[in-house]
A and B are shown apart, each in its own frame.
Chain A
Amino acid sequence: MPNNRRNFFKQLAGIGSLLLLGKKKKAHAAYSGRSPDQLGVLVDTTLCVGCRSCEKACNRINEDLPHKPSETFRDDSVFEQRRRMEWDAYTVVNRYKNQGDEGRSLYAKFQCMHCVYPACESACIVGAFTREPNGAVIYDAWKCIGCRYCMAACPFQVPAYEYGNALTPQVRKCTFCFEKRLSEGKIPACVEACPMQVMSFGKRNDLIRKAKKKIKESSDRYLPHIYGEREVGGTAWLYLSGVAFEDIDFPKLGYGPVPGYTEPIQHAIFKWFLPPLGLYTMLGGIMWFLNKKKKNRKQLENK
């Protein structure tokens, strides 16, 4: 069965690319991030030691989240489960078994990937999610109506919801430190806090170059795959790993942007409002014609 499934995804990518044919050029630009100024972060998971300094830094910078005491971030028992981001935790680090070297565990940090073609942005009914020109995907709580369609759309299952909040629930996810750091010319808090320099921040194109160099120089250390370079049209956050990405919980995704499936359908239906107007005219025509026919018949009968 898994084989079938893979075939299916291939097919799916095929259909998707057919749809995107018109936008082929754009889709290509995706790999470089839509603009050369697109920022990004390269995460080298092979360097991560699971100290969770990034989680702590993230909790400190996002002051609207409940402040968690420092001890919480030293508690290693959290690694016993696979965690996901929560409304009050925009990033989490998970531990994985290392098949090759039992003694050394693997760690991976998760947060919003800041897609180049964000599904959340395309899905949102009121445009509460927007992608900034520098690549940060940010959220406007005021606009949000809480339909949670963005959560169903995100291919990385990132956004979390405040289900316990009855009056002002928000969708929560990593902000790329857009307001607090990037707009002041500083680097994201988690990137800065990491003692092992797992993450490097910079222009996405430079980071891809850097990653390629790393892969080339130590091919025994890295798989030749930069996760996020092409997945779903590219993401701002890029990952390097020594083991298969599925083994450290990164979903296997195709290269077509996810909104590339819905938006062409959507726009085809609404092309200059022609299809709805056409349908309207057609139905009106049928109605008029059948009515006239009936009237004629009646007149004949009356004669």
Chain B
Amino acid sequence: MVFEQKKEKPETVRKQIKMSSHQRAAPVEKKFFTPGMKILTAVMVTGLGFGLYRMIFGLASVTNLNNQYALGLWIGADVATGVALAAGGFTTGALVYIFNREHFHAILRPALLTALLGYTFVGIGLEFDLGKWYNIWHPAIPFMWQGNSVLFEVGMCVMVYLNVLYIEFMPVVCERFIGRVNLPGMLSCLNNPVDILLRFLDHILGKIMFIFIIAGVVLSCLHQSSLGTLMVIAPYKLHPLYWSLLSPAFFLSSAIGVGLPMVIFESMLACRAFGRKPEMRVLTPLARIIPFLIGVYIFLKIGDMIFRGTYVYLFESSVPAIMFWIEFGFLTVVPFFMFMSSDIRRSPRGLFIAATMYIIGIFLNRSTVFFIAFKPVYAEKAYIPAMGEFALTIGLIAAIIFVYRVFVTILPVLPAQEENS
């Protein structure tokens, strides 16, 4: 590793007090380049290769986008799904700090890290999609503010929230490096100032963190729902099963619903990768909350369908109708009942399957709204993402996992293990 670790731990006592009743988090001590990681790296490099190609030769060279389908996989998956799946950060934050469920403290840091990386990669993914990516800062300039634009609100909230996430994560960095700053070579003269800075940050942040935690929740509610408002502007293009004025409420409630399944999914994958036992002690009670959250989404969705009478489309033989059955009927309602069952909640396998199903359901839901149930006025054939588009999307997911791995190796994110089993 690049980061040298000093062996002595002068601050351990202090930290133990700080983490008090909770289980301590610690860097993972495992070999970094396992065979799995090598495959992951290959996938990541391939995807980024396509991304680079798009940057040099333009959108047309890699994507199947056209004047009819202007938004495609990169918006539906990398951005819309990415934001939804990163909801774990604010939902666990709210759970632990606002609703005071200290029991779930152990999952807080991994959830926060996932959110942080998720949003960072939403930004990176968006850069590949924007025609003039170098203008991404424009929405932040007051004379270009456009308060009528839904996208403007999404952009601003995501931008601010990303910063809030970095602040929320700062204590983890402080914890790791206070008293252990050891910069290489020339920079070593900065060791002391950096250390002082970290201590200062740690001190201040410890006192005002609640401001950011609540802000994170508010910002998340705003942009998660506004993502759903985006396509409301296209009533004549979006299939009636998906066009609804309640769409922002659907997006918000389903994102809140997917936050915890995502935490479960990710925690189990991490345990598997590091050869640990899944922490059912935390995950099972966590899963108990999920049906209430997904339930709100299902209730809203069905209620809206009855109110607007759009159930008449359920049995037409069209792609949107089929998608509805798959993403809602199969991948939302079924996991809902799975999370209801206490047997499944106690079984690592059942829990993992339920969480995975709902996560895929959310991905399909967002994709359906953005390009599958979306039929532009003069579209002659449907948009099917090109190979390069899939490659970049998958590559970015691989990159998230890669960076996650780097982070948990350096920083105390995952719960400490007494011995490596």
A-side residues, CB < 8 A to B, are 1, 4-5, 7-9, 11-12, 15-16, 19, 82, 84-87, 119, 121-127, 143-149, 151-153, 155-157, 159-166, 168-169, 249, 251, 253-254, 258-259, 261-263, 265-266, 269-270, 276, 279-280, 283-284, 286-287, 290-291, 294
Contact = CB atoms under 8 A, between A and B. Distances in A.
B270 to A, nearest CB: 29
A149 B71 contact: yes
Given A125-B152, A127-B145, 14 more contacts: A1-B316, A16-B235, A127-B146, A143-B135, A148-B70, A148-B131, A162-B131, A163-B63, A166-B59, A269-B153, A270-B153, A280-B218, A287-B214, A290-B98
A84 B316 CA distance: 30
Contacts of A5: 240
A271 B68 CA distance: 34
B146 A287 contact: no
B305 to A, nearest CB: 12
A8 B310 contact: yes
A40 B98 CA distance: 57
Contacts of B232: 261-262, 265
Given A12-B235, A279-B221, A144 B150 contact: no
B218 A279 contact: yes
B58 interface: yes
Contacts of A126: 135, 138-139, 144, 146, 152
Nearest to B130: A146
Interface string B230-259: 111111110010010100100000000000
A28 B66 CA distance: 35
B416 interface: no
B194 interface: no
Given A126-B138, A291-B100, A144 B132 contact: yes
Contacts, number: 206
B138 A143 contact: yes
Contact of B132 (A12, A15, A146, A249): A146
B292 interface: no
A294 B102 CA distance: 11
Interface in B122-156: 129-133, 135-136, 138-139, 144-153, 155
B344 interface: no
A146 B146 contact: no
Most buried by B among A9, A127, A161: A127
Contact of B98 (A149, A259, A283): A283
Contact of A287 (B97, B153, B245): B97
Contacts of B71: 148-149, 151-152
B267 interface: no
Contacts of A263: 148
Contact of A262 (B218, B222, B229, B236): B229
B130 A145 contact: yes
5 contacts: A155-B237, A157-B68, A258-B233, A263-B148, A269-B222
A284 B214 contact: yes
Contacts of B237: 152, 155
B3 interface: no
Contacts of B146: 124-127
B57 A147 contact: no
A169 B98 contact: no
A286 B99 contact: yes
Nearest to A87: B67
Contacts of B234: 152-153, 155, 258
Interface residues of B, number: 73
Nearest to A143: B144
Contacts of A162: 131
Interface string B261-289: 00000000000000000000000000000
Interface string B374-385: 101110100000
A123 B153 contact: no
A148 B133 CA distance: 12
A301 to B, nearest CB: 13
A283 B98 CA distance: 7
Contacts of A284: 210, 214
B144 A166 contact: no
B297 to A, nearest CB: 18
Contacts of B213: 287
Most buried by A among B63, B136, B214, B380: B214
Contact of B148 (A163, A251, A266): A266
Contacts of B56: 166
Most buried by A among B63, B94, B98, B226: B98
B300 interface: no
Contact of B144 (A122, A127, A164): A127
B217 interface: yes
Contacts of B225: 269
Nearest to A147: B130
B309 interface: yes
Given A166-B55, A283-B98, A125 B139 contact: yes
Contact of B149 (A19, A123, A148, A290): A123
A291 B98 CA distance: 8
B65 interface: yes
6 residue pairs, one from A and one from B, having the closest CB atoms: A146-B131, A151-B70, A166-B58, A163-B60, A148-B70, A169-B131
B49 to A, nearest CB: 16
Contacts of B326: none
A254 B234 CA distance: 12
A85 B148 CA distance: 27
Contacts of B153: 266, 269-270
B166 interface: no
A160 B61 CA distance: 17
A251 B214 contact: no
B57 A166 contact: yes
B207 to A, nearest CB: 14
B313 interface: yes
A251 B70 contact: no
Given A126-B146, A263-B148, A265-B248, A155 B94 contact: no
Interface in B162-217: 210, 213-215, 217
Given A126-B139, A276-B218, A290 B147 contact: no
